[in-house]
Amino acid sequence: MKVGVFICHCGLNIAGKINVKELVEYAGKFADYAEDVDYACSEAGQEEIARAIAEEKLDSIVVAACSPKLHEATFRRVAAKAGINPYMVTIANIREQCTWVHSGIEAQLKAMDTIRMAIARAKQSKPLERKRARIRRAVAVVGGGIAGIEASLTMAKAGIKVYLIEKRPSIGGHMALLNEVFPTNDCSICILAPKMNEVWENENIEVITNAEVEKISGRVGNFRLKVLKHPRYVNENCKGCIDDCSSVCPVEVYDVGIRKAIYMPFPQATPLYAAIDWENCIRCELCVKACKPDAVDFSQKPEEIEINVGAIIFATGFKPFDARRKPEYGYGKLENVITSLELERLLSASGPTMGEPIRRDGKKPEKVAFIQCVGSRDVNTNPYCSRVCCMASLKNALILKERFGIDVTIFYIDMRAAGRGYEEYYRMTMEKGVRFVRGIVGNLYEKDGRIVVRYEDTLLSRVFDEEFDMVVLAIGMEGNSLLPKSEDGFAEVAHPKLRPVETSTKGMFVAGTASGPKDIQESVASAGLAASKAMQLICSGEEELEPFNAYVIPDKCVGCGLCVKVCRFNSITMDGKAAIDAKACAMCGACVAACPADAIDMGFFSDEQIMAEIDALTEEKNTDPLILAFACWYCGYSALDLAGTLKLSYPPNIRVIRVPCSGRVDAEWIVRALERGVDGVAVIGCRPSECHFGVNSIAMKRVEGLNEALELYGEGGRVKGIWCSAGEARKLVNSLSEFVEELRKR
């Protein structure tokens, strides 16, 4: 096999930290051809690689450049156009995991090791052919807020079946509870309610409320969702009148205003059925007797629903920050300290006070303070900006000032008005007489029925105590995703700029604030993009599957059935010997690592390829101690890349082999590495219960068992499991640094 190596300068990203010419000379010792390329991913760079493949008659290539997460597909296309199988391409990550985190001789030595390992792997590559699978013409949208509504309508109008799953009794999300929306000050529910009704009436959309997704299995084109539908205790006979049933209910619940245990979520709720607050209901059943249409039904039971779809859009929205986590502001203890979302309900014409900003004692406030960045831009809670809080406070301050003549003060760190027309809105609010104090609020306390705000005016460098009738805490957003989370707690996307609605799992998309703080306009835009990506997939009818599936070597199979036990996707059957359905295989590799007879292997993560990398690494020991890390593709490898993006340096002792899942890491690989001189092995996988394949528990037990066995020989602690999300780069860097120090002390 003739192997060629192409080393990218990537401007100064790579060439500014290491000697590329020296690397080319070094690679030439192990490969048949080597050259450097200024920008391998550019059109000129791609043409240069294709020319060399043809002229040198190369069978396999190594591209030493940036992360395979960015351009592996690019170089596969180049290879295919040049006439070789696209799976004869190996990427050596010498940017994110080398020059962006190391420098000097350490970066040079790591790049040499990485390229040498990649060449060894390339020599074991085999041509592979992609398979095709039918795509179910249906999509599940999880979350019924404005993003879920927009995505559902976009796809339903294209003739695609949509299952809209919402955990609350009504769709509409947070937007349905707002009073007005900036910068146009449109009535929020007035523009949302028609869309909610359109969803309910659309024959291509099945709305499932009071429901939660318990489990997701399957693959792109054929996902299976297990949905738990909670009993509403009100059936379709409900006419939405609410008066008869709620008037006899003896239970009163404070929910910004007073409501009963049987209630309507809001007047425009969709579906327009009453809901029962089961936590506060005392089962007196007076509502059953009072309801003339016989709509109240306490015999309802939880129901499990299974849905099969080709793609999933997660539009799960955000969680409001719990202001109790900032005890200095007295929320939950001081009666007239409320959150910005509670003020939205008070100012809403359909809210509990019919749009009047009323205090708990029934009085209208004359002087109101807004405190910005509660839970946001704070290292003790959330370091990020929640983006919408400033504009929401400006909007509500203007309403209080103009509509009710209330004296309003906004305490801020920095006012952020980033959007078309937003800066003008800010200036208009100042001109209307809203007072702005650039100050840090220290604490709140009560005095004679009023709230005293103690703050430092940072422009005057003085501390003041000032009394107010009501204080509004501008709370931020927190992540509320079912998907693997980034460091900020929101859903991790495949690429924040180029693939902002795609996830690492093909066929799963994210919309709205599930992936980060957004205003309504941005949420609608992201929902449209997510819907278009899902439609592109669904309308293709078929999807090409990567040819990395596990396969059985019949002559080696002993029929033990262990592979069937570890497979979470029911893709393996036993009839004397094991057989694997390639289209059902999720390509996690758990069965390969578990097979005691080595009777199962994979196309792209084969034993031959991994063993070749291990052997190549240990040919030269360029660092002490030497740590080999097996990093799962979805979380571990992504976290290492993120460390590079964030320029988080860590010890240069780490050499990385990517694997599809930590469950693919074979004990034999670890033993081989240790026997050949590696000082320690790290297995980097997803957090417990967050594995994309649901098999990292196997890897955890394997690491634990290996350490116990090594302990018997006085070698315990040489294998370390690190479990993190794709966004937990700092946690991973700290864990790796600790591991290096532990090994140095041995």
Q: How many CB atoms lie within 10 A of CB 498?
A: 9
Query: Which range, of 348-352, 431-435, 659-663, averages the lowest pLDDT?
Result: 348-352
The CATH number for 567's domain is 3.30.70.20
Q: Taking the mean position of all CA atoms in its chain, how far away is CA 547?
A: 26
Contacts of 544 (CB under 8 A, 6+ apart): 130, 131, 132
Left (φ > 0), alpha (ψ -120 to 50) or beta: where does 703 sit?
alpha
Instruction: Give the model's pLDDT for residue 738.
Output: 96
Is residue 451 situated within a structural domain? yes
pLDDT, one tens digit per residue, over 74-111 is: 999 999 999 999 999 999 999 999 999 999 999 999 99
**Partners of 468 in the β-ladder:** 451
pLDDT beyond 80 at 208? yes
Reduced to 3 states, what is the DSSP secondary structure of residue 441?
A: strand
Query: What is the per-residue DSSP string for 126-147?
Result: -----EEEEPPSEEEEE--SHH
The whole-number average pLDDT for the span 553-576 is 91
Q: What is the rounded CA–CA span in Å between residue 703 and residue 681? A: 10
Judge contact between 568 and 589, C-beta under 8 A.
Answer: no
Instruction: Give the model's pLDDT for residue 371.
Output: 98
pLDDT beyond 90 at 353? no
Instruction: Give the model's pLDDT for residue 137.
Output: 95
pLDDT beyond 90 at 150? yes
Is residue 614 situated within a structural domain? no
The whole-number average pLDDT for the span 417-422 is 88
Same domain, 341 and 291: no
Closest CA to 504 of 349, 319, 642: 642
Contacts of 660 (CB under 8 A, 6+ apart): 548, 587, 588, 589, 602, 605, 632, 633
Three-state SS letters, 702-719: HHHHHHHHHHCCCCCCCE
The whole-number average pLDDT for the span 449-476 is 96
Closest CA to 495 of 533, 549, 524: 533
Burial of 262 by CB count in 10 Å (0-12 exposed, 13-18 middle, 19+ buried)? buried
pLDDT, one tens digit per residue, over 623-638 is: 899 999 999 998 999 9
Q: What is the rounded CA–CA span in Å between residue 56 and residue 4? A: 8
Q: What are phi and psi of 33, to 5 degrees?
A: -155, 140
Instruction: Give the model's pLDDT for residue 305.
Output: 96
The pTM of this model reads: 0.75
Q: Report the b/e string of 200-230 with b at 16+ CB within 10 A.
A: eebeebbbbbbbebeebbbbbbbbebebebb
Same domain, 236 and 221: yes
What percentage of the chain carries pLDDT values higher than 90? 83
Closest CA to 334 of 287, 369, 282, 382: 369
Same domain, 67 and 158: no
Instruction: Give the model's pLDDT for residue 58.
Output: 97
Among 130, 159, 175, where does a domain finish? 130
Same domain, 293 and 325: no
Same domain, 182 and 324: no
Beta strands 33-37 and 337-339 are unpaired
Q: What is the rounded CA–CA span in Å between residue 344 and residue 322? A: 16
Contacts of 130 (CB under 8 A, 6+ apart): 544, 545, 546, 547
Contacts of 183 (CB under 8 A, 6+ apart): 391, 419, 420, 421, 422, 424, 425
Q: What are phi and psi of 495, to 5 degrees?
A: -155, 125
Judge contact between 143 and 316, C-beta under 8 A.
Answer: yes
Q: What are phi and psi of 465, to 5 degrees?
A: -115, 125
Q: What is the rounded CA–CA span in Å between residue 451 and residue 368? A: 10
Closest CA to 516 of 496, 531, 494, 530: 496
The whole-number average pLDDT for the span 54-79 is 96
Same domain, 371 and 343: yes
Same domain, 297 and 176: yes
pLDDT, one tens digit per residue, over 219-232 is: 788 899 999 999 99
Confidence band for 570, pLDDT divided at 50, 70 and 90: confident
Q: What is the rounded CA–CA span in Å between residue 40 and residue 46? A: 6
Q: What is the rounded CA–CA span in Å between residue 558 and residue 679? A: 34
Among 539, 559, 587, where does a domain finish? 539
Same domain, 294 and 384: no
Is residue 505 situated within a structural domain? yes
Q: Taking the mean position of all CA atoms in its chain, how far away is CA 56?
A: 43
Rounded (5°) CA angle 196-199-200: 90
Beta strands 654-659 and 600-602 are unpaired
Instruction: Give the model's pLDDT for residue 409.
Output: 98
Confidence band for 362, pLDDT divided at 50, 70 and 90: confident
Q: Report the b/e string of 620-652 with b at 16+ CB within 10 A.
A: eebbebbbbbbbbbbbbbbbbbbbbeeebebbb
Is residue 63 situated within a structural domain? yes
Is residue 218 situated within a structural domain? yes
Is residue 369 situated within a structural domain? yes
Reduced to 3 states, what is the DSSP secondary structure of residue 390?
A: helix
Q: What is the DSSP letter of 21?
A: H
What percentage of the chain carries pLDDT values higher than 70? 100
Looking at the structure of the chain, the number of domains it has is 4
Same domain, 120 and 257: no
Q: Which two tokens stand for residue 55?
A: 């002229």
Instruction: Give the model's pLDDT for residue 596.
Output: 94
Confidence band for 218, pLDDT divided at 50, 70 and 90: confident
Closest CA to 642 of 74, 103, 97: 97
Residue listed under structure tokens 């019919």: 354
Q: Which two tokens stand for residue 697?
A: 């528990």
Reduced to 3 states, what is the DSSP secondary structure of residue 276?
A: strand
Closest CA to 317 of 119, 162, 174, 104: 174
Is residue 582 situated within a structural domain? yes
Residue listed under structure tokens 């199988």: 85
Q: What is the rounded CA–CA span in Å between residue 186 and residue 203? A: 29
The CATH number for 354's domain is 3.50.50.60
Q: Which two tokens stand for residue 482?
A: 């079912």
Q: Mean pLDDT, the chain, as a whole number?
A: 94
Higher-pLDDT residue of 257 and 101 is 101
Q: Which two tokens stand for residue 719?
A: 């294998």
Confidence band for 270, pLDDT divided at 50, 70 and 90: very high
Q: What is the DSSP letter of 113?
A: H
Beta strands 477-479 and 719-723 are unpaired
Contacts of 420 (CB under 8 A, 6+ apart): 183
The CATH number for 120's domain is 3.40.50
Q: What is the rounded CA–CA span in Å between residue 453 and residue 456? A: 10
Please confirm whether the linkage preceding 625 is cis (ω < 30° from 0). yes
Same domain, 303 and 323: no
Same domain, 401 and 515: no
Q: What is the rounded CA–CA span in Å between residue 671 and residue 56? A: 38
Contacts of 279 (CB under 8 A, 6+ apart): none
Q: What is the rounded CA–CA span in Å between residue 426 and residue 430? A: 7
Among 106, 130, 154, where does a domain finish? 130
Reduced to 3 states, what is the DSSP secondary structure of residue 470?
A: strand
Q: How many CB atoms lie within 10 A of CB 745?
A: 7
Judge contact between 625 and 679, C-beta under 8 A.
Answer: yes
Residue numbers of the domain that contains 48: 1-130
Is residue 450 situated within a structural domain? yes
Same domain, 158 and 9: no
Q: Taking the mean position of all CA atoms in its chain, how far away is CA 118?
A: 30
Q: Which amino acid is at 209?
A: T
pLDDT, one tens digit per residue, over 704-729 is: 999 999 988 888 899 999 999 888 99
Query: What is the per-residue DSSP string for 302-343?
Result: -EEEEEEESEEEE---EEEP-GGG-GGG-TTTSTTEEEHHHH
